[in-house]
Amino acid sequence: MNVNDLRERGLVLLGCGKMGSAMLEGWLKGALEPRDVWVIDPQPSDWLRSIDGLNLNADLPERPALVLVAVKPQMMEDALPQVKTLGGGGTVFLSVAAGTTIERYERMLGDGTPVIRAMPNTPAAIGRGITALAANAEGAPALDLAETLLSAVGQTVRLETEDQMDAVTGVSGSGPAYVFHLIDCLAKAGEAEGLPPELAMRLAKATVGGAGQLAENSPKSPEELRRDVTSPGGTTKAGLDVLMDMETGLPPLIRKTVAAAAARARELGR
């Protein structure tokens, strides 16, 4: 299966909120036209309504090439019956829902359904996402196509086993939210040290954005880059002594944060 199949047979989005829209926006800038896409969403956004030629809550094609499932796990029981007749083979199901396992899709859609699970993240909206993928045996031949689609919104990585997906969700799926919170905390701390709010926020955003880009592009490890900032006896060392405390600092806090998110992903899967 390839992009031409998508264009000939159609791509269906079941749910098109924040994540579905970020992905659709990337695809419409690339290989797909609005007429190739069917969206099922009871509350379509103004953006979706404004796309000329998009098949919005219209009758579905008989045998679409792919259904992207982008509803919340809690909405799954209501949403999936709308595409149940497409299960059993022929149509590939690509799910971005946290927690919901391949086995659960197979139960809901029938044995033999090609299922690919993916975990993207919201920087997809600016083409800077990262998506992890895993598939059942029937879905595996469509992994190349799924990667082609998802690379329109950032990097992709294939997982060795589906079991890794909950940990991935705790790191990169939820991760942008941790980083946005870090920006807020940094800005608030700047304010507490006497900076005007706007200046503090500008400094915090540029620092996190710039450091993230540097960490991604540099041949040096994050640890080396940290050492480059840290002068002996200087200001960074004083700050890091607090942040890197193994009992009260970031390491145990981030460990607990990711563990809680991964545990919730496992819970949602049940």
Ligand X SMILES: O=C(O)[C@@H]1CCC=N1
Question: What residues line the site for ligand NAI (CB under 6 A)?
Answer: 14-20, 40-43, 70-73, 75, 78-79, 96-98, 119-122, 173
Is 127 flagged in the annotation as binding?
Answer: no
C-beta closer to ligand NAI: residue 67 or 201: 67
C-beta closer to ligand NAI: residue 176 or 249: 176
C-beta closer to ligand NAI: residue 107 or 237: 107
Is 70 flagged in the annotation as binding?
Answer: yes
C-alpha span between 194 and 190 (Å, rounded):
7
Is 71 flagged in the annotation as binding?
Answer: yes
C-beta closer to ligand X: residue 6 or 167: 167
Is 1 flagged in the annotation as binding?
Answer: no
Which region, judged by CB under 6 A, interacts with ligand X, from 54-62, 167-175, 180-188, 223-231? Answer: 167-175
Q: Under the criterion CB under 6 A, does residue 98 sit at the interface with ligand X?
A: yes
Q: Under the criterion CB under 6 A, does residue 71 sit at the interface with ligand X?
A: no
Is 57 flagged in the annotation as binding?
Answer: yes
C-beta closer to ligand X: residue 26 or 173: 173
Tokens standing for 140?
A: 């595996």
C-alpha span between 60 and 38 (Å, rounded):
7
Counting Cα atoms < 13 Å in the Cβ hemisphere of 198 gives 0
Is 253 flagged in the annotation as binding?
Answer: no
C-alpha span between 89 and 267 (Å, rounded):
28
Q: Which of 15, 173, 190, 257 binds ligand X (CB under 6 A)?
A: 173
Query: How many Cβ atoms are within 10 Å of 112's Cβ, its own excluded?
Result: 13
From residue 169, how far is each of 64, 100, 174, 256, 259 by CA, in Å? 28, 12, 6, 14, 10
Is 15 flagged in the annotation as binding?
Answer: yes
Are 49 and 75 contacting, i.e. CB atoms less than 8 angstroms apart?
A: no
Smallest distance from ligand X to CB 21, Å: 14
Which region, judged by CB under 6 A, interacts with ligand X, from 74-82, 126-134, 168-176, 206-214? Answer: 168-176
Query: How many Cβ atoms are within 10 Å of 259's Cβ, its own excluded?
Result: 12
Tokens standing for 253?
A: 């806090």
Q: Which of 55, 169, 171, 190 binds ligand X (CB under 6 A)?
A: 169
C-alpha span between 53 and 47 (Å, rounded):
13
124-135: burial string, b at 16+ Cβ within 10 Å, e else: bbeebbbbbbbb
Q: Which of 174, 200, 201, 257 binds ligand X (CB under 6 A)?
A: 174
Residues making up the annotated binding site for NADP(+) are 14-19, 70-73
Contacting positions for ligand X (CB under 6 A): 98, 169, 173-174
